Chain A
Amino acid sequence: MSTKRHGATKQGIKPSVLLHGNLTDAALDALAKKKVGQVFLVEGRPGLKAAQAASRRLLKRKIKPVVVADNMMGFLFARGLVQEVWWPYRVGSDEGIVGDIGALIAGVLAKRHKVPFYGFPAREKTGFVGKAKELLYFANKQVVPGTLKAYVPLTEWLPGKYITKVK
Chain B
Amino acid sequence: MKAFAPILLMLVAPAFAQGSGPTPALANRQLPDPAKEAEAMRLMHSLRCIQCQGQSIADSDAPMAGTMRAEVRQQIAGGQKPDAIRDWMIGRYGEWVSFEPDMKGAGLLLWIAPLLIFLAAIWVARGLFRRRT
The yes or no verdict on A and B being binding partners is no
Residues of B within 8 A of A (CB): none
Residues of A within 8 A of B (CB): none
